[in-house]
Amino acid sequence: MNIEDYDEQLKKAGEFHGEICGGIAIGTKLAMYGLELMKMELNQRHKNLIVFLEIDRCMADAVQAVTKCSMGKRSLKQMYYGKFAATFYNIDTEEAIRITDFDANKKNKSKETVEEMKKRFRETPPEKLFTTEKVKVKLKKSQMPGKPHTSTRCSICGERITDGRHLNRGGKPVCIPCAEGAYYEIIEENQ
């Protein structure tokens, strides 16, 4: 991984995110390292790559910008674990590598300025910043990229549910918001 490539990818990630902060700087390095370990080239969309993100912070935008994986293409999966980690999964070979923060945010570095942090991320080899683990990923057909694999309607609200994301209640399909409650509350319905 060379510094020129890092600078190029950091610029792209910063433009996508709207600024270059510490999360974008380390996320760029992590994403580049993941692609390198998977033997995939930069600046290409890899249809056989799925990335699982374990955090929904700045790092996630850097990973999306560098890998070109996206939620809309179903090649970027958000896991909401609150951990600074990502798993790179090759659909064709079933090889998966999970990369976690090893040294990036150690407490003794807390007095570091953002500029000092960005410089450190730029110059430090990725194997000194991250820990890697070979892992096994199990995906259902309904979790794979591509067109929806299944479709049904919620027996309560009538809205469409794709890819097996429904629950069965009394033998009938029910969407998760109807079964467990939604993040929203309808205050006015247009007809």
CATH of the domain at 154: 3.30.60.20
Please indicate, yes or no, whether residues 7 and 65 belong to a single structural domain of this protein.
yes
- Give me the mean pLDDT over the 88-113 stretch: 82
Please indicate, yes or no, whether residues 108 and 173 belong to a single structural domain of this protein.
no
Query: Residue 132 forms beta bridges with which residues?
Result: 99
Please indicate, yes or no, whether residues 32 and 18 belong to a single structural domain of this protein.
yes
Please indicate, yes or no, whether residues 154 and 116 belong to a single structural domain of this protein.
no
d(CA 74, CA 94): 16
Please indicate, yes or no, whether residues 123 and 152 belong to a single structural domain of this protein.
no
Residue 74 lies in a domain: yes
Domain count, the chain: 2
Domain range for 157: 147-180
Whether the predicted pLDDT of 107 surpasses 60: no
Which letter, b or e, does each residue of 25-42 get, where b requires 16 or more Cβ atoms within 10 Å of its Cβ? bbbbbbbbbbbebbeeeb
Whether the predicted pLDDT of 70 surpasses 70: yes
Please indicate, yes or no, whether residues 29 and 111 belong to a single structural domain of this protein.
yes
Q: What percentage of the chain carries pLDDT values higher than 70?
A: 95
Please indicate, yes or no, whether residues 129 and 48 belong to a single structural domain of this protein.
yes
Residue 26 CB contacts under 8 Å (≥ 6 apart), including other chains: 59, 62, 101, 104, 105, 117, 121, 129
Whether the predicted pLDDT of 60 surpasses 70: yes
pLDDT band (50, 70, 90) for residue 110: low
**If you average pLDDT over every residue of the chain, what do you get?**
90
Residue 23 lies in a domain: yes
pLDDT band (50, 70, 90) for residue 145: confident
Q: What is the pLDDT of residue 129?
A: 92
Please indicate, yes or no, whether residues 106 and 153 belong to a single structural domain of this protein.
no
Please indicate, yes or no, whether residues 95 and 24 belong to a single structural domain of this protein.
yes
- Side chain identity, residue 81: Y
Residue 185 lies in a domain: no
Quick one: three-class SS letters along the chain? CCHHHHHHHHHHHHHHHCCCCHHHHHHHHHHHHHHHHCCCCCCCCCCCEEEEECCCCHHHHHHHHHHCCCCCCCCEEECCCCCCEEEEEECCCCCEEEEEECCCCCHHHCCCCHHHHHHHHHHCCHHHHEEEEECCCCCCHHHCCCCCCCEEECCCCCCEEECCCCEEECCEEECHHHHHCCCCCCCCCCC
Residue 84 lies in a domain: yes
d(CA 11, CA 55): 21
Cα-Cα-Cα-Cα torsion 63, 67, 72, 76, nearest 10 degrees, comes to -60
Q: What is the pLDDT of residue 111?
A: 80
Whether the predicted pLDDT of 176 surpasses 80: yes
Query: Distance from CA of residue 77 to its chain's centroid?
Result: 5
Q: What is the pLDDT of residue 46?
A: 95
